């Protein structure tokens, strides 16, 4: 048995890729997933390059893994994902404990074939190690390895019968099967080139996957008992079936028409491609399509939006917020905001604050701008001191927490259908509403992965507390 450990950083696209690689390896037989690095024979690190801090976290994690390699010299460590797309050389030179690097914009199927090959090698090496008990006797190992190479060369290591296009999609991880959640990349890459963003460079050009493969995948997941499907793309609204040219609205409708009691979510939408039609489809199938819209604003200032190459104005954005409120009055709306973009003045920042007051988002993911290689914004003049950027972020987050709390208070006394996700360390069950609000509940484990109706008893800043309605 080869023990596999996958560490995933970054967005849900990475979560889906990790799931997909893991499902593939487990489906080969002879591979099992472990939850501790020290048990692993193969460690995959799926990386994120979105901000410098995200990269620093990955670098220090890779460094920590050297310790495990000391005790098990055949341990293979692979770095995959967005950092691997453009830092291959740096990773390999800086860390001699890393065995291979494979970027996110390369075809996942090539990685899978490589890993297939690697698993065969690892199985043989591990067998020899365990059989001869020669963990730390390097000379003997070298001799054994020569023998192993000969064995490997005589094995047919690529399984040509696998349906490769099927493998490109996210699947269900055992852990996720328990949670009854499935994350599915309906597309990869991005063509938008927001001036601050590295994703078009790490994930490459936008490419949608054929809907027949996606719908088959979703049906299979539903047959396995999945209750929540999340459709993923950097900009799902620009999904186009490569065969029929059908768009995202059509795809959502097809998913909603599938049989079963399940929920569908999607992230992210780009305001430039959001349509009224999509909101109508969501309203028509509101039992399945969750009234939850993640709608990234980035900035409330037209000057900054233009410099970010977001291609919408704040007036257009607010008009779309009105559509959402009218067509899906129960919708929760969340957003992403960057503060301290090059050229952002106090006045620009205050415009962003104003939008927060007007929209009253249910959740805001906010970040300080981080210059990224290859991007246009990294060449822009930026003379705002970091202390000032920190202050803006702090103030924005403090105010947003109050707004979340005020929104949460409005839910007290209301009843929501929720999906039970997991048991938290504080002993409560974590459930989520269709709008992705967190509701805690004292209940039994057998409810995990099921829908329950909860009446909200009280509200805090981050969580609501509910009681069961039969």
Distance (Å, whole) CA 254 – CA 259? 11
Tokens at 170, concatenated:
């996210």
Note the residues at the interface with ligand SAH (CB under 6 A): 11, 50-51, 196-197, 199, 234-235, 268, 270, 296, 298, 336, 338, 367, 369-370, 372
Identify the CA nearest to 56 among candidates 96, 9, 104, 103: 9
Binding mask 252-281 for ligand SF4 (x = CB under 6 A): ------------------x-----------
Residues 72-101 that bind ligand F3S (CB under 6 A): 81-82
Who's near 261: CB < 8 A, 6+ residues apart? 227, 451
d(CA 298, CA 341): 10
Is 141 a binding residue for ligand SF4 by CB under 6 A? The answer is no
Tokens (6 digits) for 83: 């950092």
The contacts of residue 440 (CB under 8 Å, 6+ apart) are 424, 428, 429, 430, 431, 463, 464, 465, 466
Q: Specify the residue for token string 């994120």.
A: 48
User: From the list 2, 13, 293, 359, which residue makes contact with ligand F3S (rule: CB under 6 A)?
Assistant: 13
Beta bridge partners of 46: 8, 80
Helix (H), strand (E) at residue 44: strand 42-47
**49 binding partner (options ligand SAH, ligand SF4, ligand F3S, none; Cβ < 5 to 8 Å by kind):** ligand F3S
**d(C-alpha 279, C-alpha 265), whole Å:** 13
Q: Which does 82 bind (CB under 5 to 8 A by kind): ligand SF4, ligand F3S, ligand SAH, none?
A: ligand F3S
Interface with ligand SF4, residue 180, by CB under 6 A? no
Element (H, E) at 43: strand 42-47
Q: Is 108 in the site for ligand F3S (CB under 6 A)?
A: no
**Residue 420 · residue 465 · CB < 8 Å:** no
Residue 111 binds: one of ligand SAH, ligand SF4, ligand F3S, none (C-beta under 5 to 8 A by kind):
none
Cα–Cα nearest to 265, from 334, 329, 316: 334
Is 309 or 370 the residue whose CB approaches ligand SAH more closely? 370
Question: Residue 414's beta-bridge partner residues?
Answer: none
According to CB under 6 A, which residues from 176 to 205 bind ligand F3S? 199, 202-203
Contact 299, 341 (CB under 8 A): yes
Q: Which of 199, 251, 267, 456 binds ligand SF4 (CB under 6 A)?
A: 199
Site for ligand SF4 in 222-241 (CB under 6 A): 234-235
Query: Applying CB under 6 A, does 200 fall inside the site for ligand SF4?
Result: yes
CB 183 within 8 A of CB 22: no
Contact 28, 159 (CB under 8 A): yes
The closest alpha carbon to 8, from 22, 23, 29, belongs to 22
**Near ligand F3S by CB under 6 A: residue from 14, 230, 301, 334:** 14
How many CB atoms are located within 10 Å of the residue 412 CB? 14
Q: Would you count residue 333 as binding ligand F3S (CB under 6 A)? A: no
Among 15, 50, 91, 179, binds ligand F3S (CB under 6 A): 50
| 197 touches ligand SF4 by CB under 6 A | yes
Angle at 45 between CA 43 and CA 49, to 5 degrees: 170
Strands 181-185 and 228-232: parallel
Size of site (CB under 6 A) for ligand F3S = 12
Find which of ligand SF4, ligand F3S, ligand SAH, none residue 193 binds, CB within 5 to 8 Å per kind: ligand SF4
Q: Say how far apart CA 42 and CA 217 lie, in whole Å.
A: 27
Q: Please pick, from the candidates 8, 192, 238, 352, the single residue that binds ligand SF4 as defined by CB under 6 A.
A: 192
Residue (342 or 449) nearer to ligand SAH, CB: 342
Tell me the number of residues near ligand SF4 by CB under 6 A.
Answer: 10
Say how far apart CA 121 and CA 157 lie, in whole Å: 9
Closest approach of ligand SAH to the CB of residue 13, in Å: 9
Q: Is 51 in the site for ligand F3S (CB under 6 A)?
A: no
Q: Residue 14's binding partner, choosing from ligand SAH, ligand F3S, ligand SF4, none, with beta-carbon cut-off 5 to 8 A by kind? A: ligand F3S
- Taking CB under 6 A as the binding criterion, the range among 43-51, 263-271, 278-286, 404-412 that sits at the site for ligand F3S is 43-51
Q: Which residues bind ligand F3S (CB under 6 A)?
A: 10-11, 13-14, 48-50, 81-82, 199, 202-203
Q: Which residues bind ligand SF4 (CB under 6 A)?
A: 190, 192-194, 197, 199-200, 234-235, 270
């Amino acid at each position: 048995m080869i023990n596999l450990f996958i560490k995933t950083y970054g967005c849900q696209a990475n979560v889906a890729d990790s799931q997909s690689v893991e499902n593939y390896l487990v489906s080969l037989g002879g591979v099992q997933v472990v939850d501790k690095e020290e048990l692993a024979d193969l460690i995959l690190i799926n990386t994120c390059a979105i901000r410098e801090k995200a990269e620093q976290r990955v670098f220090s994690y890779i460094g920590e893994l050297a310790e495990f390699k000391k005790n098990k010299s055949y341990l293979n460590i692979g770095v995959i994902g967005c950092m691997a797309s453009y830092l291959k050389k740096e990773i390999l030179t800086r860390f001699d404990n890393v065995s291979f690097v494979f970027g996110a914009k390369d075809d996942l199927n090539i990685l899978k074939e490589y890993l297939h090959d690697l698993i065969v090698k690892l199985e043989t090496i591990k067998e020899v190690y365990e059989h001869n008990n020669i963990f730390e006797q390097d000379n003997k190992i070298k001799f054994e390895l020569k023998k192993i190479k000969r064995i490997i060369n005589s094995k047919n290591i690529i399984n040509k019968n696998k349906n490769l296009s099927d493998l490109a999609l996210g699947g269900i991880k055992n852990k996720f099967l328990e949670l009854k959640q499935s994350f599915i990349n309906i597309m990869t890459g991005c063509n938008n080139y927001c001036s601050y963003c590295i994703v078009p460079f790490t994930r490459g050009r936008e490419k949608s996957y054929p809907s027949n493969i996606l719908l088959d995948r979703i049906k299979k997941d539903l047959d396995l008992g999945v209750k929540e499907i999340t459709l993923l793309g950097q900009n799902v609204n620009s999904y186009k079936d490569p065969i029929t040219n059908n768009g995202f609205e059509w795809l959502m409708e097809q998913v909603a028409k599938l049989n079963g009691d399940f929920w569908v979510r999607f992230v992210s939408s780009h305001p430039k491609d959001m349509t009224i039609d999509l909101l109508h489809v969501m309203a028509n199938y509101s039992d399945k399509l969750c009234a939850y819209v993640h709608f990234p604003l980035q900035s409330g200032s037209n000057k900054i939006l233009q410099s970010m190459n977001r291609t919408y104005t704040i007036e257009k954005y607010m008009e779309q917020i009105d559509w959402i409120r009218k067509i899906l009055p129960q919708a929760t709306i969340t957003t992403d905001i960057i503060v301290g973009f090059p050229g952002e003045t106090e006045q620009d920042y205050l415009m962003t604050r104003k939008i927060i007051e007007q929209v009253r988002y249910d959740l805001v993911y906010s970040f300080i701008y981080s210059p990224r290689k290859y991007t246009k914004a990294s060449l822009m003049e930026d003379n705002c001191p970091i202390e000032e950027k920190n202050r803006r972020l702090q103030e924005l987050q403090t105010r947003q927490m109050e707004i979340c709390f005020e929104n949460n208070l409005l839910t007290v006394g209301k009843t929501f259908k929720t999906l039970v996700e997991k048991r938290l360390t504080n002993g409560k069950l974590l459930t989520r509403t269709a709008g992705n609000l967190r509701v805690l509940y004292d209940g039994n484990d057998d409810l995990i992965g099921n829908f329950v109706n909860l009446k909200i008893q009280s509200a805090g800043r981050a969580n609501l507390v509910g009681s069961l309605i039969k």
